Structure 1
Amino acid sequence: MLIVYSKHRLPKTLLGLVVLVILCTSSRCETSGRKTAPQPRHSRFGNSPLHHGDSDHSAVLNVVRKFSVDHPLGDQDLFSTINRRRLASCSNLYPYAAIAVDTTGQLADVQNVTVTVSGVTKPSDQDWVGVFSPTDANTDACPTESAAMYLQTGDTSSLPLTCHYPVKYKFLNTDPEYISCGKPTCEVSAGSRCFVQTCSGSVSFRLINIRTDVFFVFFTGGLALPCVINASSALSFANPKSPLYGHLSSVDSTGTQMRVTWVSGDSSPQQVKYNGLTATSNVSTFTAASMSSHAANPASDFGWHDPGFIHSAVMIGLTPSTSYIYSFGSDDVGWSKITNFTTPPAVGANSVRVVMYGDMGKAERENASIHYSAPGSIGVVDALTRRNDVDVVLHIGDISYATGFLVEWDSFLELLTPVASKVSYMTAIGNHERDFPGSGSVYTLTDSGGEIGVPYETYFPMPAAAADKPWYSYSSGPIHFTVMSTEHNWTRGSEQYSWLQEDLASVNRTITPWIVFTGHRPMYSSYTSSLDFLLAPVDTNFAPELEPLLLSAKVDIAVWGHVHNYERSCAVFNGTCLGMPTNDSAGIATYNNADYKAPVQIVVGTAGFESNDFGTATPPAWSLARIKDYGYIYIQADRTRLTVQFVSSTSGTVGDQCSFTR
């Protein structure tokens, strides 16, 4: 994912802190990285794109300023406190304060909970409620440490600078009666006269089963220096071992096997029941020690959350393009609800329908705030849930945007379940899953927050050759998909380059007449900004290295994410149009690939994260269509025609359409 400032230039203070974080965010810098990854084999990518956020982190930039006199903490010089790991409690500011939760029993797998704060003598728009887990989470303020952890991932929005990352949070001023004291209570009175009046407010949270107990904390002081007023008792989930968040993927191109992967708090093998058969799961997990040890990072510290256990089982003996029902779990921990799924068409079948997109992330349905909230993700998921004409989904990088805040993988998987539990959901790795210094990634920035690909590969096992070699190919119907990793070495002579060369050369165009080549970072994008000197959307070394390979193999389409908009090119090579589409009788731009010229480049980083403006009114000659919107591409292919539509999840309309014939 490329994250860009839409309104602000990068502040010098922030830039300095970003550089400091990239170099070493604490004195715990070490020389080891991902345990299974090789060290970088070259360092010639000096002009590789960096990352940055969408808005100023004013809390960070102003954290050493004096608070104004109307701040609940009063007028304090923060220079004396900023380097302290723990800050004092503020419970004495609101001596009548109480926090209540409308649920006293155990929590269901999905449950709405309302939290009410009362006894507040002076409501402030700096008051907020956070959800924390587990029960030993440190809710003290850690301004410098936490700010560095957020900035490490590129997120410069204002976020809670607590010592442990909250699951989610809301400001109490979202209750319109809080600031106005619309529900006053008299605490001290004499006769008819009230001497002390307090106010109350409520916020609601949609909680999902994250296996560990949760509790709610009432803070004042805003996000920059949060100070605890009160905390609730802990709530437990009724079944922390519940089998949840099942999602499917293809094992091969036959359409006769499907993998189902799910999450549970149970370490014992479970089963999937399907078509009168059962398959037993392989069980895996990861720990904080599995994350990068090269430098301090969210994944192993501030953002760590126990992932439970990831179960994966393969359903065999299936028939392509056929509907089945399945359920997973065990008699000991319970079974998931029965779900319908459909196998994809086998390789060589006459037709297939595919959805592709990148850069999804997650957002909270009750509008709670989180790190890296992706406002369009819910709309894309809901739009796909309503469709019943999809055989395969291919998500090309920047999957959850958890970036070291690991509880957000659960949030993403829960959001995705209505889609990924019903059709084959294939993925490619992106910078926000893999990149970190000293980990073997091509781009040695901190975009993964220390995850270094471990959660991604555990949650989304693809038919790759080995761990940390996440390139693979897959065919369905008349399309062959070659999936590369833009985050691993792709230069000539590298292992991945050799594999790509062999895979493309092996495609039988009689069986699969179409080739779709895909990965995360694009070869072409006309997006520009004033920060291109620092944050170029395209690595200028990338296309010269791999574009000749695509041309030689007569790749029809190259599809990418990373830049958060939609763009379609002519048949382009080396920045020059070698072929242009013509409109058919229906007015659809059509590329005649019977007279092949070059690949058509498509960027579709539109699945949820904040959209990018293009920055220039006039596109380059190779750019034929540009759209800033949330959505996805929908591909329909038979043996002689392939059609691509960009479908807006905002309006439901087709924003761009083209066809390929042969």
Structure 2
Amino acid sequence: MGLSGSGAVASIVFLGLCATVSCWPAPPPPEMLHESFAGKSEFRTVNRRRLSSCSNPSPYLSINVSSGGAPLPDEAFLTVTVAGVLRPDADDWVAMITPCSSSVSGCPLSGVNYVQTGDLAHLPLLCHYPVKAQYMKRDPGYLGCKTAACQKRDASGACSVRTCAATVTFHVINFRTDVEFVLFSGGFRTPCVLKRSGALRFANPASPLYGHLSSTDSTATSMRLTWVSGDGRPQQVQYGGGKSATSQVATFTRNDMCSSPLLPSPAKDFGWHDPGYIHTAVMTGLQPSQSYTYRYGSDSVGWSDTNTFRMPPAAGSDETSFVIYGDMGKAPLDPSVEHYIQPGSISVVKAVAKEIQTGKVNSVFHIGDISYATGFLVEWDFFLNLIAPLASRVPYMTAIGNHERDYAESGSVYVTPDSGGECGVAYESYFRMPAVSKDKPWYSIEQGSVHFVVMSTEHKWSEMSEQYKWMNQDLSSVNRSRTPWVIFIGHRPMYSSHVGIPVNVDLAFVASVEPLLLKHQVDLVFFGHVHNYERTCAIYKNICKGKPKKDESGIDTYDNSKYTAPVHATVGAGGFSLDKFPRIVLNKWSLSRVSEFGYARVHATRGDMLVQIDVALDNENSRKFRKNAIWASPSEQLLLYFLQFVSSSTMEVLDQFRFVKPDPARRLRNKPV
């Protein structure tokens, strides 16, 4: 049987993107590289520092913001100018703080420090965490006082008191609470307050913002839209030329966050930020694979811009395409430092947005470690703003990860502080998947010829657990005539060549769940958690049960006509600082490894397929003829599944492979050509 023809195709591609965050979008100034701030930085511990008194602050200090005190729009780049500085210092910095009621001097003392900040020695600086900060020396003229002003002259007219100024730029979005810029000295380790700007308020704290889509079922006749507003009254989504749906409204409070006596959480304390109200409405009466315009909001709070989304194909239809990645997070669109920065996130978003603009992507799957807010709630707003070009156009389907769910005394399988006390509440509020029920975030959905099973690696998965029983039942019920491809999705991987501390692979998890994959003949498994890309052979219990063969184009092709085991692909390169592979990898099951930011794109199709086999009759004239070919009509066809991993810096395909097998619902036959 030939493997090179077109036809029912399941394609998987890993792509790479723009390497710097300055490419999405292109705000000033241009030098916005965040690699040096990736992951945890000293800024994360600034709120645990004792606040010392600044000695002899300049009486000429001022902070001016480009808004001029006018109400702020929903998104802006603000220039903050600090003037009147007598002695510029490399440790001078400006923080953006919200809300302005935050006290910078009178926080109550706490007997227990917050372990997850990494600071075990100092008490809080601020009752509310600074959203972001920049050192004044980012202005290249600051330390050399290139921008000077004379504040006082002597009797001869010569300047006797000269002060210096500098300007930095902050990206601000509407997170509903007022904003203040505060000038500090002493760096992040010994900070003291020099000057405050005064409150800046948003023009419309109730604005409907950050609308994002998700599929509700496999029929592709309805679509959920979720958005955020500062107003708790029901709003509407208007769509499809006169239709509308009214929102259900929810929120969560500080009391919904997790904590424990031994591990107090930022989500309950200095990381808390009021989330406003989360609105969700379901648009019904839609048609598969059709496009619709929509807007959301109300006359009282205003309306969003009009946007367009496209429905995915219904279960059992001929074709579907999707993008998948994990571990994205977000990075600032300015040169600020923040609590957590994922340096590749912006470039991945930009590249996936280009994919969506082609009209060839039906959905996006983000499989765990979503925003990395980890208890600093305002960062969810920044993440939702970042993914808007994707999630407002196609369904944005998610799986829960350790940084959404895990915390002490929260019921998670893994007792770590990774969620910062959010314990899944924020994630499930913002991303309403077609899950079983609250805090049971596992689900399945079908698009085209693919049945997706999405599990939670953070909830109990042992053989007697509710989730295990659900997975077994769901996989048992797959109709292979309708959806011949089965893709299994979770966050923590079963196989990884990266050596992590703690270890990346939980052998108990593998022992419990891997047999289900083999039993139900899962074709392909996607995981994240490890921040790179890796592909295996068809594997079970660390043994290669089948390896791909190269087709005429050199693409690895797995022949699943005789199923052996699932193929695993780790796609955790969506934004978080990359995990490198060891120089020597001894795992024979590891067939492809890429440590570069990117994502996988997958294409599965059922179409007419003609496989041509050219055979030379003689060597003299190399005359060729078409031999009887394996021919497939729309009702009798071969299935192919194709995947590529794409670099986000170059859009180059760094790995690609495909599957092929007969359609179980149809019989292939030979037909003369």
Is 1:433 the equivalent of 2:404? yes
Structure 1: segments with no counterpart, 5+ residues: 1-52, 64-81
Give the structure 1 partner of residue 618 of structure 2: none
Task: Decide whether aligned partners of structure 1 residues 574 and 161 sit closer, same or farther in structure 2, where only a CA change above 3 A counts.
Answer: farther
Counterparts of 1:277-356 in structure 2, within 5 Å, are: 277-295=243-261, 296-356=264-324
What is residue 216 of structure 2 aligned with on the other side?
A: 251
Distance 1:211 1:621, change over 3 A: same
Distance 1:474 1:435 in 2: 25
For residues 174-573 of structure 1, what are the structure 2 equivalents within 5 Å?
A: 174-190=138-154, 191-275=156-240, 276-295=242-261, 296-387=264-355, 388=358, 389-529=360-500, 532=501, 535-573=502-540
Give distance in 2, aligned partners of 1:257 and 1:147.
49
Range with bigger deviation, 121-130 or 651-660: 121-130
SS in 2 for 1:439: coil
Cα deviation digits, residues 524-558 of structure 1 (max 9, x gap): 100015xx4xx111112111111111001110111
Does structure 2 retain, via aligned residues, the 8 Å contact 1:569–1:623? Answer: yes
Counterpart residue identity of residue 322, structure 2: V
Deviations for 1:208-256, whole angstroms, at most 9, x for unmatched residues? 1111110100011111222110001111111110000000000001100
Cα distance change on mapping 1:324 and 1:460 into 2, 3 Å: same
1:167, distance to aligned residue in structure 2 (A): 1.5
> With CA pairs under 8 Å and 6+ residues apart, which has the higher RCO, 1 or 2?
2
* 2:552 pairs with one of 555, 561, 585: 585
Change (3 A) 1:219 1:588: same
Separation of aligned partners in 2, 1:195 and 1:440: 66
Identical amino acids, percent of aligned pairs: 53
Displacement of 1:141 in angstroms is: 9.2
2:612 maps to none
- In 2: Cα distance, 1:105 partner to 1:287 partner: 30
Q: 1-side partners of 2:39 and 2:253: how far apart?
A: 32
**Equivalent residue of 2:339, what SS?**
coil
Between structure 1 and structure 2, the one with the greater Rg is: 2
User: Whole-Å Cα distance in 2 between the matches of residues 339 and 661 of structure 1?
Assistant: 38
- Which residue is 1:28 aligned to? none
Give the Å deviation of 1:619.
4.2
The SS at the match of 1:386 is helix
Shift of the alpha carbon at 1:453? Answer: 0.4
Q: CA deviation at 1:294?
A: 2.4
State how far apart, in whole Å, the 1-side matches of 2:39 and 2:603 are.
38
Counterparts of 1:593 and 1:155, CA distance in 2: 53
State the secondary structure of the residue aligned to 1:395: strand
Q: SS where residue 575 of structure 2 aligns? A: coil
Helix, strand or coil: the match of 2:351?
helix
Q: Give the superposition deviation at 1:361.
A: 0.3
TM-score by length of 1: 0.85
Alpha-carbon separation, structure 2, partners of 1:205 and 1:564: 29
Match of 2:62 in 1: 98
What displacement does 1:618 show? 2.4
Contact map agreement 1:86 1:140 (CA 8 A) in 2 = no
Aligned mates of 1:636, 1:146 — CA distance in 2:
55
What is the alpha-carbon distance in structure 2 between the residues aligned to residue 135 and residue 570 of structure 1? Answer: 55
The AA in structure 2 aligned to 1:578 is K
Q: Distance in 2 between matches of 1:475 and 1:182?
A: 62
Q: Which residues of 2 match residues 128-207 of structure 1 at below 5 A?
A: 128-140=93-105, 148-149=113-114, 152=116, 162-190=126-154, 191-207=156-172
Q: Please report how far the alpha carbon of residue 188 of structure 1 lies from its aligned counterpart in structure 2 after TM superposition.
A: 2.8
Matched residue of 1:236: which SS? coil
Amino acid at match of 2:438: A
Given the superposition, is the C-alpha separation of residues 476 and 381 from structure 1 closer, same or farther in structure 2, using an over 3 Å criterion?
same
Residue 435 of structure 1 contacts residue 448 of structure 1 at CA under 8 Å; is this kept in 2?
Answer: yes
Listed one character per residue, the Cα deviations across residues 178-228 of structure 1 (whole Å, up to 9, x for unaligned) are: 111101122232124333222111111111111111010001111122211
Deviations 1:458-514 (A, max 9, x none): 000111111000000011000000000000000111000000000111101110010
Q: CA deviation at 1:88?
A: 4.0
Aligned partner of 1:329: which letter? Answer: G
Contact 2:207/2:301 (<8 A) preserved:
yes
1:106: Cα distance to partner? 0.6
Kindly state the Cα deviation for residue 139 of structure 1 after the two structures are TM-superposed: 2.8
Q: Which amino acid aligns with 1:90?
A: C
The verdict on how the C-alpha distance between 1:459 and 1:336 changes in structure 2, with shifts beyond 3 A counting, is: same
Q: How many correspondences in the alignment? A: 584
The one of 53, 75, 83 equivalent to 1:110 is 75
Provide the secondary structure at the position in 2 that maps to 1:263: strand
Alignment-derived partner of residue 669 in structure 2: none
Gaps of 5+ in 2: 1-36, 607-638, 662-673
- The separation in 1 between residues aligned to 2:659 and 2:416, in whole angstroms, is 38
User: Comparing 414-423 with 112-121, which one deviates more in the overlay?
Assistant: 112-121
The corresponding residue for 1:643 is: 642
Contact 1:60 1:147 in 2 (8 A): no
